[in-house]
Structure 1
Amino acid sequence: MSGHLHARRVAALPPGLPTPPRTGAGGIPRVLSELMHRLGRYLDAPDDWLPSLNRANGSTRQQRTERSVACVQLLRASLKYLDLVTMRVGVPSAGRGMQNLTLRFLADQAGLDMRRAERATRDLQAAGLTSARSRCERGEDGSFKGLAAIRYLPEALFGAFGLAKWLRHERSKAALRQQLRRAADAKQCRRNTREYARGQLWLESLKNRVSKCPDPARSAPDDGDAGLAAEFERQVQIRAGQIKQNDPSLDRDVCFRLARQQLVPAR
């Protein structure tokens, strides 16, 4: 491509487009930020880097500048939310699931209106640079509502820019981190279960002790102070058991101290 044409294509870039990070800032793996940067080479020489995208519209002519820019920016927005383990575009959610992203969200991230984003999506899918599986749910009235599609990026996209080996390395590291997180979560879950069970047993034992305490209402008239003290201790034990049940990690002394702070003895 001549220097004049390169200058024309760069000058044609619309203002306000997000600039891809160069060093993986913001928690983005460096292999992703590097590909986001290298995608700019497509704008300089489309047939040298992604010929399938350059011919996605079925024409023998080179892809128009604004169309190629839209494709690059939509890819960059997708890379920002790419899960390396599954190569799926989305945001991790509670448990092991993933929240899918709508095209409108990705279009906003790419600085595109919906019309250009939809056209770029068709070009990228035709070129084999992204894939999407539509989803819907059925409402109570029997109608269907569209949901955010499940989107994937291919490993070949990284290979086209000389990043295939780096991608395999980062995916292995990401898979290992995921396994370690799951093991740590499972261990914490087992610990919480044990602590909860111990708290339940302790609460039952406190209830048994309280049931054996004399009822202050039946105390002799001249034993009023002793009856009030016994009732206060009874309430402290009950409250301590509740505190322990709510937070099994607290030990006995802490639970009783908090219970006494929260309860004011009758006077």
Structure 2
Amino acid sequence: MHRLGRYLDAPDEWLPSLNRANGSTRQQRTERSVACVQLLRASLKYLDLLTMRVGIPSTGCGMQNLTLPFLAGQAGLDVRRAERAMRDLQAAGLTSVRRRCERAEDGNYRGLAAIRYMPASLFGAFGLAKWLRHERSKASLRHQLRATADAKHRRRSTREHARGQLWLDAMTNGVKRAGPAVSTSGGMDVSTAAEFERQVQIRAGEIKQANPSLGHGICFRLARQQLTPPR
């Protein structure tokens, strides 16, 4: 982002394709050059080094694309000037844009934020090709470590959920098998007492599932404290 300022001093030396993007043999006007540099800097601010895509990482491996008005605001430009600068950047091969749309319920199409990429050659033009390769390797390693940690967490959560469900099912089946043999307490008839014990065991199973580190006795005690016996 800092080295882009060199383009303003010597356009043909640093980014000749941008200097000639307007199709003229004359040097790009200063205000137009500044707009292009500012828009490039705003795009670099949100550049994902792993994919070279401009956007904000979202849940999982997704990416939230950025609208041109948003980038214009980040660059300190009005939208019309940003549109002209974006056309110059595309013509110069410094930004590639893939437009998107979706079909609305009424059958019409609505435009979505375009997918924007930046070329590695932009870094190479300012002597940063080796640095970019190094940083992209580091970004790839970070991505792999995050993916491994997420997969491990999902597997652990699945195992804990399955164990809790099995324990809950086993307790529920035990109450069903007990049937009329459940003793009464506090004046409750057999069916009412059995139903209360079933609710206690189900609640204890839920507590155990939510907090696997708790012992069975503690889970049952908490369950009985949370439930009110029928009278």
TM-score (norm 1): 0.76
- 1:208 Cα deviation from its structure 2 partner: 1.8
Once the two structures are superposed, residues 3-46 of structure 1 have per-residue CA deviations (whole angstroms, 9 ceiling, x without a partner) of: xxxxxxxxxxxxxxxxxxxxxxxxxxxxxxxxx11111212222
- 1:234 Cα deviation from its structure 2 partner: 4.4
Q: Distance in 2 between matches of 1:68 and 1:242?
A: 64
Q: What SS does the aligned partner of 1:38 have? A: coil
Root mean square deviation, CA, Å? 2.6
Within the candidate set 192, 208, 214, 2:157 is matched to: 192
Q: What SS does the aligned partner of 1:150 have? A: strand
Aligned to 1:21: none
The AA in structure 2 aligned to 1:143 is: N
Aligned: 1:209 with 2:174 = yes
The AA in structure 2 aligned to 1:67 is: R
Once the two structures are superposed, residues 161-197 of structure 1 have per-residue CA deviations (whole angstroms, 9 ceiling, x without a partner) of: 1110000001011111111111111111111111111
1:1-267 to structure 2, matched below 5 A, reads: 36-211=1-176, 212=178, 214=180, 219=184, 224=187, 233-245=197-209, 247=210, 249-253=212-216, 255-265=219-229
CA distance 1:117–1:258, change in 2 (3 Å): farther
Q: Distance in 2 between matches of 1:41 and 1:176?
A: 32
The AA in structure 1 aligned to 2:206 is: Q
Give me the identity figure in percent: 76
8 Å CA contact 1:195, 1:248 repeated in 2: no
CA distance 1:138–1:95, change in 2 (3 Å): same
Q: Distance in 1 between matches of 2:129 and 2:95?
A: 16
Aligned to 1:14: none
Q: Distance in 2 between matches of 1:111 and 1:255?
A: 59
Q: Distance in 2 between matches of 1:244 and 1:62?
A: 73
8 Å CA contact 2:47, 2:55 repeated in 1: yes
The AA in structure 1 aligned to 2:173 is: N
Once the two structures are superposed, residues 99-157 of structure 1 have per-residue CA deviations (whole angstroms, 9 ceiling, x without a partner) of: 11111111111111110110010010111110001111122332111111110000000
- 1:262 Cα deviation from its structure 2 partner: 2.7
Q: Distance in 2 between matches of 1:73 and 1:60?
A: 23
Q: Distance in 2 between matches of 1:249 and 1:77?
A: 47
CA distance 1:210–1:155, change in 2 (3 Å): same
> Which runs of no fewer than 5 residues in structure 1 stay unpaired?
1-35
- 1:248 Cα deviation from its structure 2 partner: 5.9
> Which runs of no fewer than 5 residues in structure 2 stay unpaired?
none
Q: What SS does the aligned partner of 1:209 have? A: helix
- 1:230 Cα deviation from its structure 2 partner: 7.4
Q: What SS does the aligned partner of 1:132 have? A: strand
Q: Distance in 1 between matches of 2:87 and 2:73?
A: 17
The AA in structure 1 aligned to 2:16 is: P
TM-score (norm 2): 0.87
